[in-house]
């Protein structure tokens, strides 16, 4: 596509996507929606969907009764019909009704695969949070299920729908203003790993801890686990690599048109904060080798960031300049002649005033989530692939999982993307599939 046609198409897309309700015009019957996982980001995703389309939220599911009931009240106050949705403690009971057009899955990571697969089997299109899986075989099975049941599945990697990042991709990278790029650094320096060490205790009465644990190993309940800080434990996710690296790696892959890395190598561990109960690395470096391009990740949950303006982001190094991007801004700095370019995140608080008062909302991310939902709805209408299709989510998720395996085993993972196996490494391939706690059964391709 040439520059003139590209800019025309981009302008048309941005104009349409800025209109609430764009994805459901005319006399179309509102899509019936269910949410599995009514915590922090589940509500953020759901309320952004309500903002852009006249959906009807008919079902909510969560293993925390208090969280579930609160979400039901909030949904009744936010959706157009003012109806209170049905509530469930088990996603299987919700899905067996087979009356949902869209299902959002926003559970902890260890609970992504089974509900997403069950939802597409029940005939729903799915929006599933990242990372899509905790092991590689789960991701393979999720892609296979989406294709087999011909369902649209969008992954919550909304950097692909962030307005200022779309601009950076289209006006800096696609215009080749950096020249040849051989290195991209991606990083996170947030102090986000749990530091406390509280004693184990009985789970609260309102939490079904058996169901919350599901296929993961059963650990004694600890207040660090629920809500929101379960990412500090490898039993439930892939640490900061699976939480923050996936966003930046997926963003770089999208901006540069990259697929699977050829090789993945990683080192790190718990090098500084050894007193916390958390068992995920506080320091990690990983290299994703694309042949003539290296994408290098680094995180540490201690010390200051090298650039306080970019504590979580990516830096593209080109022969003609440098591009820094984050969820809040981007900066293009040419090496020679030419003007630097700076852009800040698009905020839409005047258009969506409810964002000003919504509890725990990441306001700067709201525009991206809205556009991500609109892209999802367009794909549902056309039965096409969304911008963050489940296969793209699988590539980014599995690449991060392989980085963790490299750190665990102390060697490079040479990845065969066609066979979906590590070359000449039987021990690593056995680790592509984790054991499920009975009676839960691991999904297969």
What CATH number corresponds to the domain at position 146?
3.40.50.720
Same-domain check for residues 109 and 188: no
Two tokens, residue 389: 């299709």
Confidence of residue 27 (pLDDT cuts 50, 70, 90): low
Phi, psi of 111 (to 5 degrees): -115, 20
Task: List Cβ neighbours of 27 (8 Å cut-off, separation of 6 or more).
Answer: none
Q: What is the pLDDT of residue 338?
A: 87
> Does residue 314 share a domain with residue 278?
yes
Residue 193 is part of a domain; what is its CATH number?
3.30.360.10
Task: Give the pLDDT of residue 48.
Answer: 98
pLDDT at 3 over 80: no
Give me the percent of the chain exceeding a pLDDT of 70: 94
- Is the CB of residue 422 less than 8 Å from the CB of residue 429? yes
Q: Which of 104, 136, 159 is the last residue of a domain?
A: 159
Higher per-residue confidence, 8 vs 432: 432
Q: What confidence score (pLDDT) does residue 380 get?
A: 98
> Mean pLDDT of all residues in the chain?
93
Q: Are residues 129 and 187 in the same domain?
A: no
Q: Which of 127, 159, 191 is the last residue of a domain?
A: 159
CB 226 within 8 A of CB 108: no
How much is the pLDDT for 337?
Answer: 83
pLDDT in tens, 282-303: 999 999 999 999 999 999 999 9
My answer on whether 60 and 80 are in the same domain is yes
Same domain, 150 and 203: no
pLDDT digits (tens, 9 = 90+) for 183-209: 999 999 999 999 999 999 999 999 999
Domain identity same for 73 and 222: no
Per the CB < 8 A criterion, the answer to whether 175 and 321 are in contact is no
Res 23: pLDDT:
40
Q: What is the DSSP string of 370-403?
A: HHHHHHHHHHHHHT---TTBHHHHHHHHHHHHHH
Q: How many percent of the chain have pLDDT more than 90?
A: 92
169 and 42 in a single domain? The answer is no
Q: What pLDDT score does 15 carry?
A: 35
Same domain, 124 and 171: no
Distance CA 263, CA 399 (A): 9
Question: Are both 47 and 131 inside the same structural domain?
Answer: yes
Our CA angle for 202, 204, 205, nearest 5°, is 110
**What is the secondary structure of 280-306 as a DSSP string?**
S-SEEEEEEE-SS-EEEEEEESSS--S
- Looking at the predicted structure, is the pLDDT value of residue 392 above 70? yes
pLDDT tens readout for residues 332-371: 999 988 899 999 999 999 999 999 999 999 999 999 999 9
Q: Sheet containing 125-128: give its strands across.
A: 86-88, 56-61, 32-36, 102-105, 125-128, 153-155
Predicted local distance difference test score (pLDDT) of residue 299: 98
Model pLDDT, residue 28:
73
Range of the domain at 270: 164-347+391-430
Contacts of 77 (CB under 8 A, 6+ apart): none
Confidence (pLDDT) at 25: 44
Residue 376 included in any domain? no
Instruction: Indicate whether 266 and 301 sit together in one domain.
Output: yes
Q: Are residues 52 and 149 in the same domain?
A: yes
Spell out the residues 6+ positions from residue 413 whose beta carbon is closer than 8 angstroms to its own.
263, 264, 265, 402, 403, 405, 406, 422, 425, 428
What is the rounded CA–CA span in Å between residue 193 and residue 243? 11
Residue 167, classed as helix, strand or coil, is helix
Assess whether pLDDT exceeds 60 at residue 10: no
Looking at the structure of the chain, the number of domains it has is: 2
Question: What are the start-end ranges of the H helices in 38-135?
Answer: 40-52, 65-78, 91-95, 113-121
Residue 237 in tokens: 């996710």
Is residue 343 located within the same domain as residue 411?
Answer: yes
**pTM value?**
0.93
- Model confidence at 228, pLDDT cuts 50, 70, 90, reads confident
């Amino acid at each position: 596509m040439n520059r003139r046609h590209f800019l025309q198409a981009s302008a048309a897309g941005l104009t349409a996507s800025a209109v609430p309700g764009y994805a459901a015009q005319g006399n179309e019957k509102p899509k019936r929606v269910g949410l599995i996982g009514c915590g922090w980001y589940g509500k953020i995703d759901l309320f952004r969907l309500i903002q852009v389309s006249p959906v009807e939220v008919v079902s909510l599911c969560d293993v925390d009764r208090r969280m579930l009931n609160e979400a039901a009240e909030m949904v009744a106050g936010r959706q157009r019909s003012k109806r209170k949705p049905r509530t469930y403690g088990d996603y299987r009971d919700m899905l067996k009704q087979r009356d949902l057009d869209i299902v959002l899955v926003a559970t902890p990571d260890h609970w992504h695969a089974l509900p997403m697969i069950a939802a597409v089997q029940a005939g729903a299109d799915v929006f599933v949070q990242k990372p899509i899986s905790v092991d590689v075989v789960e991701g393979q099975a999720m892609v296979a299920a989406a294709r087999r049941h011909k369902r649209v599945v969008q992954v919550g990697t909304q950097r692909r729908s962030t307005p200022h990042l779309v601009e950076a991709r289209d006006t800096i990278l696609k215009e080749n203003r950096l020249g040849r790029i051989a290195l991209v650094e991606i990083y996170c320096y947030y102090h986000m790993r749990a530091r406390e060490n509280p004693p184990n205790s009985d789970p609260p009465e309102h939490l079904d801890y058996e169901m919350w644990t599901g296929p993961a190993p059963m650990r004694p309940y600890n207040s660090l686990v629920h809500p929101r800080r379960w990412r500090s434990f490898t039993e439930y996710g892939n640490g900061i690599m699976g939480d923050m690296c996936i966003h930046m790696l997926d963003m770089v892959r999208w901006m540069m048109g990259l697929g699977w890395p050829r090789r993945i190598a990683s080192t790190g561990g718990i090098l500084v904060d050894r007193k916390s109960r958390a068992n995920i690395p506080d320091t990690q470096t990983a290299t994703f080798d694309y042949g003539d391009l290296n994408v290098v990740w680094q995180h540490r949950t201690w010390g200051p960031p090298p650039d306080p303006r970019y504590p979580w982001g990516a830096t593209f190094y080109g022969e003609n300049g440098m591009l820094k991007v984050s969820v809040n801004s981007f900066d293009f700095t040419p090496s020679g002649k030419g003007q630097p370019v700076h852009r800040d995140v698009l905020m839409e608080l005047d258009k969506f005033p409810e964002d000003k008062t919504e509890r725990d909302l990441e306001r700067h991310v709201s525009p991206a989530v809205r556009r991500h939902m609109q892209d999802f709805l367009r794909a549902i209408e056309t039965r096409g692939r969304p911008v963050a299709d489940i296969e793209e989510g699988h590539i980014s998720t599995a690449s991060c999982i392989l980085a963790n395996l490299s750190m665990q085993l102390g060697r490079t993972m040479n990845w065969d993307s066609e066979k979906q196996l590590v070359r000449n490494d039987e021990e690593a391939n056995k680790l592509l599939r984790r054991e499920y706690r009975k009676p839960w059964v691991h999904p297969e391709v």
